[in-house]
Structure 1
Amino acid sequence: MAYTNRDHTRSYSNTKKQALAAHEIGHTVGLDHETGCVIMVDNTAKRSACGLVKLTTDDRRGINALY
């Protein structure tokens, strides 16, 4: 279960919130943090810098490997 602190995310744009939700869903299905430009990168600023708002091919491969 993911808990998002509203005080922390109140200033987030809708795009940034979408990326955060996709990241947390990735954890729900078993993905861990990664490096590089993937939705599972461990830092919101890094995700934003990559312009990510949805799972990448690498993220999908990780899910497929688990299931």
Structure 2
Amino acid sequence: MKFDSWSAFWAMGGYGFYVWLSFGFTLVAMVGIVISTMATKKTLLRAVKQKQARTQRRKAAQKLENTL
């Protein structure tokens, strides 16, 4: 569809409000998904590091206990 001017493009034949509102909601939802995914990844990586450190501490304690 060809528009005669930028204002006609933004108005979209009288449906511009609904079109741009839907684009806005979609953009907000996608940004929210990206932020949520990044936060979840950070939390999971922290949990894995803590579990690995705990495992190392338990192995060290077990080794020390076996030497006594």
TM range (shorter): under 0.3
TM-score (norm 2): 0.27
Greater relative CO (CA pairs within 8 A, separation 6+) = 1
TM-score (norm 1): 0.27
Q: Whose radius of gyration is greater, 1 or 2?
A: 2
